[in-house]
Amino acid sequence: ILAAMLRVLCLLAVVDSVLLLDSGMLFPRESASREVKELNGLWAFRADISPSRNQGFEEAWYKSRLIESGPVIDMPVPASYNDITQDPSLRTFTGWVWYEREVVVPTRWITDEEIRVVLRVGSAHYYSVVWVNGVKVTEHNGGHLPFEAEIGSVIRKDPTAKCRITIAVNNTLTLETLPPGTIQYMNDPTRYPKGFFVQNIFFDFFNYAGIHRSVLLYTTPKAFYVDDITVVTDFSDNAGLVNYKVSVKGSAAATLKLTLMDKEGHCVASSSGSVGALKVADVKLWWPYLMHENPGYLYSLEVHLTAANDKSTSEDVYLLPVGIRTVKVSSTQFLINNKPFYFHGVNKHEDSDIRGKGFDWPLIVKDFNLMKWMGANSFRTSHYPYAEEILQMCDQHGIVVIDECPGVGIKDIRSFGNASLTHHLVVMDELVRRDKNHPSVVMWSVANEPASEMPPAQFYFKTLIKHTKDLDPTRPVTYITNSNYARDLGAPYVDVVCVNSYFSWYHDPGYLEVIPIQLNTQFEDWYAKYQKPIIQSEYGADTLPGLHNDPPLMFTEEYQQAVLQHYHNVFDQKRKHYVIGELIWNFADFMTVQGITRVVGNKKGVFTRQRQPKAAAFILKERYWRLANETGKLPYWTKYPCSL
């Protein structure tokens, strides 16, 4: 009984502590009332190489210009710092690094006390502390998600001074971070240099670090502003429905007006009040790529706040793209707008030469062109949330997304404790808060291949999945499991079973003939146990481009092709029943930690890291277009595009 009571108390503590997010995280957009100033480019940079990694804090490097406390180098933002220099110790550095940039703030932003000035960091890995002119304005735990701070009062203290922004970022991973890791000191002086330690990680991608996404300043009115918007959409027959909730902050009383506009800018519905519903006649639904001739249809919701006093009228305007669609799951199907949707897509990474995980438009647009070329209608944000701009592209192009949080490599039993769970719940809060309004996001994934056989996994995932559903009752929730696990204690709580397997690769390497039987057994077992639709969330084989052998040998292009074809034969049987998707591992080759199983990274890409196709890319292209056309619903112009 005591144990049960303790558990309830723990759960209450956990639930209490996660309701802490008290503000929205709308993507910064320019409007009649809002300005945005990007701070991307070269920042001053120094890694704290002191043995304790703590010199920067001891000497308060944030108090004056970074160059005054020691040497600095140029560091581009956004980018991972690891591959920018020729210094091998910076490539694998663990600890605090310091970034600094001086910014000229428009005088008006300082003199006009009615303007609210916000500093926003799109993401930094992993723990960040931010100062403006030596004053700490915020800190944030976790990579891949944005954080911000209001800085108006700090910059107004000395209106003549430049605005100096200092950001210290620490990439250390512990058992309680997401993803988890451990720091291991090697204390034997006969084998290791003094102070030698390693960062152990339990995931298969390079632990890139630094400021990975845009840093910017944006403004809103101060007396009142649109803090958050939530939209949930529905339709019946020809009528669309946009249920909305707007949260307004500030002291002044303001009037709210909402207008929904179609692509041509015509008003199709309007409303007032902070909670309500907009009805759209002759609705144009948001459809996935290749499911409709006009995929990714977006309306635009203009949220308009006005307040008038004796002297003047002021306003705040925010424009949110809105796609009207529904998502449902049955025991055998995934339904978008009540029609069966089959995921034929990819798993990705934010990863490229030189920039590491740094945001890069040319790379993003190239990747979208490649996905569309190969007929991919979906991807999973393995193994962490991707940049918001990527999700905006998905909304526009109709690419369906399984949105994953950084819960990758939860393998150590100590990472199932209360502190870990509490942090994981907060990360889900932050993720749902950021991504809830994207029509492209159709499912949340709370983790990848956790040790879900361990007894504490049951309470952990039950709590985590329930919490995610409470945050967003409109989307299914899953986590990604591995077909090796005989017992999966979290699976009863997921809506869709997502399974990774690498038959004839990690098991029975070289024996392609085991794939049909082992894959068939995998599907039959999982379906019999849970009666839930299944996605093959990973499968693949490492392949060195240009390496050939026939009969197929591991690591050749022929072997990758053969693995795919063996898997596809089984998918074609099972997709008639309960298999609802297939996502190749991986879209492109990506960097990993050095090790005896990785030859300069993971080579399971169907494209190289430089985005050139291996032979397998053509197999997938052929297949995905065939799958898209199979329903016969595509209009003539999307039939298999020989010329694409």
Using rule CB under 6 A, residue 445 touches ligand GCB:
no
Backbone torsions φ then ψ of 163, nearest 5 degrees: -95, 110
Q: How far is the CB of 602 from ligand GCB (least distance, A)?
A: 5
Tell me, by CB under 6 A, how many residues bind ligand GCB: 9
Q: Which is nearer to ligand GCB, 100 or 538 (CB)?
A: 538
Compute the distance between CA of residue 621 and CA of residue 603 in angstroms, rounded to an integer: 19
Please state whether 540 falls in left (phi above 0), alpha (psi between -120 and 50) or beta: left
At 159, the amino acid letter reads P
Using rule CB under 6 A, residue 478 touches ligand GCB:
no
Compute the distance between CA of residue 344 and CA of residue 612 in angstroms, rounded to an integer: 20
The site string for ligand GCB over 194-223 (x = CB under 6 A, - otherwise) reads ----------x-------------------
Using rule CB under 6 A, residue 350 touches ligand GCB:
no
| Structure token pair of residue 389 | 């701009």
Q: What is the sign of the dihedral through the CA atoms of 371, 372, 374 and 380?
A: positive
Q: Which is nearer to ligand GCB, 226 or 408 (CB)?
A: 408
- How far is Cα of residue 249 from the mean position of the Cα atoms in its chain? 27
Q: Which of residues 528-547 bind ligand GCB (CB under 6 A)?
A: 538
Using rule CB under 6 A, residue 404 touches ligand GCB:
no
Using rule CB under 6 A, residue 227 touches ligand GCB:
no
At 353, the amino acid letter reads D
Q: Which is nearer to ligand GCB, 214 or 448 (CB)?
A: 448
Compute the distance between CA of residue 232 and CA of residue 250 in angstroms, rounded to an integer: 25
Residue with the CB atom nearest ligand GCB in the bound state: 204
Q: Can you point out the beta strands (E) in 153-285?
A: 163-170, 181-185, 197-201, 210-211, 215-221, 224-236, 239-250, 255-261, 267-272, 275-280
Using rule CB under 6 A, residue 589 touches ligand GCB:
no
The site string for ligand GCB over 600-639 (x = CB under 6 A, - otherwise) reads --x-x-----------------------------------
585, 607, 624, 625: which one binds ligand GCB (CB under 6 A): 585
Using rule CB under 6 A, residue 422 touches ligand GCB:
no
The owner of tokens 């809002």 is: 34
Q: Which is nearer to ligand GCB, 357 or 604 (CB)?
A: 604
**Residue 438: closest CA among 477, 383, 475:** 475
**Residue 233: closest CA among 300, 278, 295, 291:** 278
**Residue 404: closest CA among 391, 414, 420:** 391
Using rule CB under 6 A, residue 483 touches ligand GCB:
no
Q: How many residues comprise the chain? A: 644
Say if CB 179 and CB 203 are below 8 A apart: yes
Q: Which is nearer to ligand GCB, 560 or 602 (CB)?
A: 602
449 among known catalytic residues: yes
Q: Which is nearer to ligand GCB, 367 or 589 (CB)?
A: 589
Q: How far is the CB of 145 from ligand GCB (least distance, A)?
A: 20
Using rule CB under 6 A, residue 449 touches ligand GCB:
yes
Q: How far is the CB of 451 from ligand GCB (least distance, A)?
A: 13
220, 500, 504, 638: which one binds ligand GCB (CB under 6 A): 500
Using rule CB under 6 A, residue 448 touches ligand GCB:
yes
Q: For the chain, what is the largest distance between any 2 Cα atoms, rounded to a whole number of angstroms?
A: 84
288 prior amide bond cis, ω within 30 = no
Q: Which three-class secondary structure state does DSSP give residue 124? A: strand
Which is the catalytic residue, given 449, 538, 557, 558?
449
Name the site residues for ligand GCB (rule: CB under 6 A).
204, 383, 448-449, 500, 538, 585, 602, 604
Q: Write out the catalytic residue numbers.
A: 449
